[in-house]
Amino acid sequence: MQSRDVVVIGGGQAGLAVGFYLRRVPLSWAVLDAQDGPGGAWPRTWDSLRLFSPARFSSLPGWIMPGGMDEYPTREAAVEYLAQYEERYALPVERPVHVRAVRREDGGFVLDTDGGAWRARAVVSATGSWARPYVPDVPGREWFGGMQVHSAWYRAPEALAGKRVLVVGGGNSGAQVLAELSLVADATWVTLAEPTFLPDHVDGRYLFDQATALYRAQKQGRPPPPPADLGDIVMVPPVRQARDRGVLRAVRPFVRMTERGVVWPDGREEAVDAIVWCTGFRPALEHLRPLGVVEADGRVRVQGTRSVREPLLWLVGYGNWTGFASATLIGVGRSARGTVDEVAAALAPAEGKG
């Protein structure tokens, strides 16, 4: 059984950011990553994906992503950056190691993995959400005979060329997938509400600035500033091009599915070949269930990033409930730094005894 003061579960952007700051503290630590190679979830995204902030604003702490102020990085650029980041700071990532369960034992934690057991005094969970894609429970979905694919597994439009396709989901992923599918297929965008778009000159930098303002207001005990209602979808180049072609039009959801297609709210039935679900993800926290910390909503109750029920467990990078903008490349650094400060303080009284 290997033993460390701190074990970080997950070697994607959140795990690497935590590792960057763990280098600065006198603790032994390791990162356990279930993937075969570096890059976290990015290698599994669709081929044409573009980040919604320029490279300079898509960076982890310590090293700015190459590309400058105007280039929106591709998936490959993000993967390469994370691989080089890991190497640049010599982060001790063990892979592939899948953590199946975390349990309390003898005042610390034991991690059951497919590569043997690990012991830790503190655990940082940074597994993200990509392993738990969410698809709404639409009546009749199990009877649909066409293709169904979540954005987690969608790669390229060629397999859907010439087909009748519905793209479901009103976020950035839905907009980008619709944009490229509309070039080769008869694609319709389905969203809960009418999608709203950021102005062309506004991107993820604004979203991060807004999160920073909320963070500072909370720290200073001030009321949060009202967010500017600019829209939700970032106009990266492929989405702008789709707008210029007149295809960024959306309809409200169908009410049920049939063997051959869907039924719309007006009762009209339509044949459909495929549905791409761009409907988001849920936190991947099954490994923490033995600790009894996962609530009915699938989250862990935290104060900051620290578990309320397990004070030597931290969660980083799952979304705003674990830190403002913590699910983004540029935003996770703040949560990672605060987490490592807390970990170091919590383990300091027993330092050198583990």
The per-residue pLDDT for range 43-98, each reduced to its tens digit, is 999 998 888 788 888 899 999 998 867 778 899 999 999 999 999 999 999 999 99
Amino acid at residue number 101: A
Spell out the residues 6+ positions from residue 113 whose beta carbon is closer than 8 angstroms to its own: 32, 97, 98, 99, 100
For residue 221, pLDDT over 90 is answered with no
Look up residue 48 and give its DSSP letter. Answer: T
Which one has a higher pLDDT value, 71 or 241? 241
The domain ranges of the chain are 2-132+281-350, 141-197+232-277
For residue 111, pLDDT over 80 is answered with yes
Measured between alpha carbons, how far is 315 from 102 in angstroms, rounded to an integer?
13
- The answer to which of 31-35, 97-101, 110-114, 317-321 has the lowest mean pLDDT is 317-321
What's the whole-model pTM score?
0.88
pLDDT tier for residue 211 given thresholds of 50, 70 and 90? low
The per-residue pLDDT for range 289-330, each reduced to its tens digit, is 999 999 999 999 999 999 999 999 999 999 889 988 888 898
Q: Which CATH fold topology does 2-132+281-350 show?
A: FAD/NAD(P)-binding domain (3.50.50)
Does domain 141-197+232-277 fall under CATH 3.50.50.60? My reply is yes
Give how far the C-alpha of residue 178 lies from the chain's centroid of Cα atoms, to the nearest Å: 20
Same fold, 2-132+281-350 and 141-197+232-277: yes
For residue 202, pLDDT over 60 is answered with yes
pLDDT at 199: 83
